[in-house]
Amino acid sequence: MNTQTNLPEVFGALADPTRFAIVERLLKEGDLPVGQLAEPFKMSAPAISRHIKLLENAGLIERRIEKQWRVCALKKDRFADLHQWIERYRTFWNTSFDRLEALLDKQQGEDDDSSR
Amino acid sequence: MNTQTNLPEVFGALADPTRFAIVERLLKEGDLPVGQLAEPFKMSAPAISRHIKLLENAGLIERRIEKQWRVCALKKDRFADLHQWIERYRTFWNTSFDRLEALLDKQQGEDDDSSR
DNA sequence: TCTTCATTTAACTTTTTTATTAATTAATGA
DNA sequence: TCATTAATTAATAAAAAAGTTAAATGAAGA
């Protein structure tokens, strides 16, 4: 993971429902201009503009200029960082799962014993 | 994913550096009582207590009573939810990667052509 | 050049979050 | 029972986040 990546900042960017919805929409529909991203919300344009800027500062999206529009696109690096982070926790929950499996196996073994 | 899971709320819980550090510590060191989790911070005990409550409300940890201590433990479900969420984004960045690979392969092929 | 469209910046208000100290609860063990 | 330890709740102050309207920027095209 990029050492500059400030995970709490990235989580903060995703903590707002409006910003989360914007990110989800970019995943589902691909790159979109600011105006189109703003449409589903009754919020003012400046409010949306700030949300998008915050997402950009967190490294989750980037903006490019195309004719008179600013087109937003997801940036893969931060998502890869998030993935790498959560993968570390997988060990933790897989262990729990393995323990459950072991327990079930053990019970199965005991059931077999009792049927002899 | 559990439909009740409010991802922005979970991200909000992880957006604070203190809470993030607490979660990371629980992963590295396992279950710990509130008092021990509080030690590395110069913050007051009530402040830490609130942070831990917020993590609990977001479903990231749970507290159990053991003698006079409240022991905190990670709860795997929310982490699994996070993992499932980020996995959806993997498609997006793998696609980019595949395109890069395709481009490199293509260039390789063109290089071979030019050497003929 | 002038107008229009898309978006941002400024100035400001409201709401939410986070921290503090003081007081309270609850369990332990002399 | 009483003192001690562990942690939480209450009341409140300070800081950060998010929204609004009005004004500014900047490219497009008549």
pLDDT at position B1 is 58
pLDDT at position A46 is 97
Query: Closest partner residue to A27 among B8, B27, B88, by Cβ?
Result: B88
Using a CB-CB cut-off of 8 Å, the residues of chain B touching A89 are 27, 74, 79, 82-83
Entry pTM: 0.83
Q: Which nucleotide is nearest to A46 (CA to C1')?
A: C8
Q: Is B14 close to A7, i.e. CB distance below 8 A?
A: yes
Q: Which nucleotide is nearest to A12 (CA to C1')?
A: D17
pLDDT at position B94 is 74
Q: How far, in Å, CA of A16 to CA of A75, rounded? A: 18
Chain B nearest CA to A56, separation (Å): 16
The encoded tokens of residue B2 equal 């559990």
Query: Closest partner residue to B76 among A27, A74, A96, by Cβ?
Result: A96
Q: How far, in Å, CA of A110 to CA of A112, rounded? A: 5
Kindly provide the residue ranges of all beta strands, DSSP E only, lying in chain A, ordered along the sequence. 32-33, 61-66, 69-74
Q: Nearest residue to C20 (CA, C1')?
A: B44
Question: Within chain A, which residues score under 50 in pLDDT?
Answer: 113-116
pLDDT at position A21 is 98
Sign (positive or negative) of CA dihedral B91, B92, B95, B101: negative
pLDDT at position B104 is 56
pLDDT digit string (tens) for A57-72? 999 999 999 999 999 9
Q: How far, in Å, CA of A93 to CA of A77, rounded? A: 25
Q: For B73, which residue in chain A has the nearest alpha carbon? A: A92
pLDDT at position A112 is 53
Question: Within chain B, which residues score under 50 in pLDDT?
Answer: 113-116
Question: A42 CA to D18 C1', in Å?
Answer: 14
pLDDT digit string (tens) for B27-51? 999 999 999 999 999 999 999 999 9
Query: Closest partner residue to A7 among B20, B74, B89, by Cβ?
Result: B20
Q: Is A93 close to B79, i.e. CB distance below 8 A?
A: yes
